[in-house]
Chains A and B, each alone.
Chain A
Amino acid sequence: MYQYDRKGPKRGVALYSYSAEFGLTKTLEDCFEDVHDMGAHGIEILANTHIANYPYPTDEWVENWFRLCDKYEVVPVEYGNWIDSHVLGDRDLTTEESVAMLSRDIRLAHRLGFTVMRTKMPVINDLLEPVKNWREIIKGALPLAEQLNIKMCPEIHTPSNLKGKLVTDFVDFIKETGTKHFGLNIDFSVFRTEFKEGEWVDPNYTPNAPEDIIPLLPYIYCCHAKFINMSEDFRETTIPYPEIIKVMQENGWDGYLLSEYEGADKYDPGYEVGQTLRRHHVMLKNLLGD
């Protein structure tokens, strides 16, 4: 399987970015080639989106998956999954049922060569607090994650704050259990400082300073390099990228920054998100010096 040995922050793409084109004008292979054009070597897929016949892909599909990784020099970095414990309308899944769902994804992630999972938690309120039994669910899946060397990472996304209760609870859990198989995915939306005039901003949101990430670095196995607006001269105008990258480099962080574009304009007819991602990768390439 293809390996990319560079140390430090590395470039990748979250295929979520292609959500308005995938299946309509782009196949999975088209997305891989687009990533290859950018010279990026990491990829995040969404299990429930990009795996045909999820959660039970055929052997042929899996074989083709590894063919794509080799052909386009791509490392399977992060497997996006959901603990969908509100999947039934009238009751929540039990802890055992949630563990079973999560374990099925751990096995599939491992089968496809992933080492990190973006494990999206089910929430109970608009502060995005996870379900009460999240610790039990994660503990139930930890032995399997250890056995298959998978790191489960909830995503920390605006309006959450790196110094907030959500993150503190996760870090306390990591310290209590001493686990290396549960960590964090930081979405760079938590660093956003600039908003358009009149744009709605969540009242629960306070931007983090780049250095707020330092104490968390040992627990971060992956980042969503969220970007909102790339200028014509390849600058991100809403998030202090140069400062964030500098902090991560200087503190010896090793892992992938997965470009993720969430702008609603990508659903406009004729929009090619690949062009937007290329702009982002011009910037990242120059900041990382790869």
Chain B
Amino acid sequence: MEREVIQSVGFRNIKENGEITGFQFKIRLPYYRGVFLSQLRPGTLFIDGERIEKEDIIWNVKGEDFTVEQMKTDFQTHWDVTCPATLKVKKPGGLAQGYHDLKYGFCFTSSYMPPIIQAHLDPDKENMVFMPEFGHHVNERRMIIV
């Protein structure tokens, strides 16, 4: 696993039945413990400046696909800190060969933190105070499609 939240390994177009239907990339959880899916607050993806809403991103955790809606109520499926999640986006034809700038925001709640801190969590904005063990909400990386 790479130290960066957005992993360079796993960034590629998705091919189904010989046709490119979208792209995927992997992220690791920059927290010191794993979380249940309902703790996640997925945010917006920007790819080369193009905005992709959270509803259009599928999270794959431990080999299983989840929509944002499904994750909201799932407090049984656990995302381990040692296993990156794969995020999939539908896009006929996929991404063009060459460099792409990814910017993606997500964060998560914790029951042991005062609710006032939890209430203002915004996956697309950084917290007022950066705490390394919670990681950054918004991560950026420039990566290559071959």
Contacts and interface: CB of A to CB of B under 8 A. Distances in A.
B133 A88 contact: no
Interface in A90-143: 90, 93, 120-126, 128
Interface in B50-92: 62, 72-73, 75, 78, 80-82
B112 A48 contact: no
Contacts of B81: 22-23, 49
Contacts of A83: 111
B34 A86 contact: no
Nearest to A46: B33
Nearest to A81: B33
Interface string B19-42: 000000000100011111011010
Contacts of B18: none
B73 A88 contact: yes
Contact of B1 (A20, A23, A53, A122): A23
Interface centre among A16, A49, A124 (most CB of B within 10 A): A49
Contacts of A128: 112, 114
Interface residues of B, number: 31
A55 interface: yes
B17 to A, nearest CB: 31
B39 A54 contact: no
A46 B39 contact: no
Contact of B112 (A23, A89, A120): A120
Contacts of A22: 32, 81-82
A276 interface: no
B49 interface: no
Contacts of A206: none
Contacts of A124: 115
Contacts of B39: 84, 87
A124 B115 CA distance: 6
Contacts of B38: 87-89
A54 B109 CA distance: 18
A120 B38 CA distance: 18
Contact of B35 (A48, A93, A123): A48
B96 interface: no
Interface in A41-58: 46, 48-49, 52-55
A86 B3 contact: no
A102 B75 CA distance: 13
Interface in A194-237: none
Contact of B78 (A19, A46, A55, A93): A55
A54 B112 contact: no
Contacts of A93: 75
Contact of B32 (A49, A53, A86, A121): A49
Given A23-B1, A54-B80, A86 B111 contact: yes
A232 B12 CA distance: 49
Contacts of A123: 111-115
Given A88-B38, A264-B131, A122 B112 contact: yes
Interface in A62-88: 82-88
23 contacts: A23-B28, A23-B82, A46-B32, A48-B34, A49-B34, A83-B111, A84-B36, A84-B111, A87-B36, A87-B38, A87-B75, A88-B38, A89-B38, A90-B72, A120-B112, A121-B112, A123-B112, A123-B114, A125-B115, A126-B114, A128-B114, A267-B133, A269-B3
- Complex A-B, nearest 8 residue pairs according to Cβ-Cβ distance, in ascending order: A19-B32, A122-B111, A267-B132, A126-B114, A48-B33, A23-B82, A86-B111, A49-B33
